[in-house]
Copies of this chain bind each other. A is one copy, B any other.
Amino acid sequence: MVPSEAEFDVVVVGAGLAGLAAARELVAQGASTVVLEARDRVGGRTLNEDLGAGKVVEIGGQWVGPTQGRLLELAAELGVQTFPTHIEGENVLELDGRLRRYSGTIPRLNPMSLLEIELVRRRLDSLGRGVPLAAPWDAPRANALDSTTLASWLRRRLRTRAARELVEVAVRTVWGADSGELSLLHALWYMRSGGGFDALVDTEGGAQQDRFVGGSQLLSLRMAAELGERVRLGSPVEGVEHGAQGVRVSAAGESFGARRAIMAMAPPLCDRIAWRPELPPSRSQLAQRMPWGAYLKCLAVYDEPFWRADGLSGESVSTRGPATTTFDNSPPDGSPGVLLAFASGADARALQLLPGDARRDAVLGGLARVFGPRARRPERFIEQDWTRERYTGGGPVCFMGPGTWTGPGRALREPVGPVHWGGTETAEIWSGYMEGAVRSGERAAREALTRL
């Protein structure tokens, strides 16, 4: 190897929130950097869609919660404002073919189901408090927790069908994975990383509380504008040579030498790169063991948010689906009206088997059951299937099945020579969220800076 000449202090791979936050921190500390991005755009899993008339809506990650302090700070630094997710009105639950309106986060269920859900929620949080965020493999009984699925654990504690189905909807919406795919230890770690069950699923006070004026991708667009020519689009990285002297990264026919590298991308994508020397076995086995959730994000755009006049918030949960969770996703001024509908996990897979028109009909049919016949006739229907994006691969996050944390898991953040790992999956706080992405990038930048 390696770099006959290091043209940069640090090469950053990936211009999502993590990579851009890393580069921004590097530049702030006086280090030279280049950011290589495979796509012809920045933002990674955040992506704005134009609604016309200066309005946008997001087809990727979009929310920010009150405990996501670093993301809020960054937004303030970049001059991006927030506004509250629309929550006025009643929510709707569709269960067993019946619609029930409710207020707040607790739907009207039979007392037994409510009790079961409450006990599971408390027990998950209490078990989670035993999981060290920096080292989940050190949790008490880590091997037992990690050799069990979340489904096995829930099955013994949820006896009523309503409770089972509702918890499954919540699990799929959070991870894009079914409870039967998730390691219990990973689920506990992830929930703790965000501050507990409620913090993840709540709108008010939780991860879905606020949105960004101008769309969440604006954060990346603004950071990229600051970084200027340091960001190279259309540069998918093919190979990384690394050694004691530094790294040499090849992308789109060019070669970039640097003293250190930050890989700010989802773990499985790292396996596509030709590494010389090969990555340590634990790192490559980890890349094989962090699959993406299955996620479809659908947006139905109407001339106005007609559900508000019916006293509805736009937030709903349906165990029938196929889009099991909805939100009012209209711009701050409520025009146009936008309903956001998620299908995730098994529900997403079922939808993906249908042709495009049938998918649209199935999603709108579900919205019409909940919000009335007007929901069936949007002016525009936008569908984003993140599993079809080569440079992502699913959504919202890569998860761990059983055996991964206690197996190759400790390779997740461990630098390999001059190579550091970013991306929201590597965050300890709010892993899987934009907050985690920003934190992971800044953490990787600090790691690299102290070793320059």
Contacts and interface: CB of A to CB of B under 8 A. Distances in A.
Interface of A: 143, 146-149, 151-152, 155, 177-181, 268, 271-272, 274-275, 278, 280-282, 284-285, 288-289, 291-292, 294, 346, 348-349, 352-353, 385, 387-388, 390, 393-394, 401-404, 406-408
Given A285-B294, A394-B285, A407-B346, A146 B352 contact: no
A387 B177 CA distance: 27
A181 B401 contact: yes
B281 A294 contact: yes
A353 B155 CA distance: 37
Given A271-B272, A281-B352, A349-B281, A149 B151 contact: no
A331 to B, nearest CB: 30
A149 B402 contact: yes
B282 A407 contact: no
A292 B285 CA distance: 7
Nearest to A273: B272
Contact of A402 (B181, B282, B387): B181
A146 B152 CA distance: 10
A407 B349 contact: yes
A404 B408 CA distance: 20
Contacts of A353: 282
Contacts of A282: 349, 352-353
Given A146-B180, A394-B288, A278 B388 contact: yes
A247 to B, nearest CB: 18
A291 B287 CA distance: 9
Given A387-B281, A401-B403, A180 B149 contact: no
A282 to B, nearest CB: 6
Contact of A390 (B179, B278, B348): B278
A139 to B, nearest CB: 14
Given A272-B271, A401-B401, A407 B148 contact: no
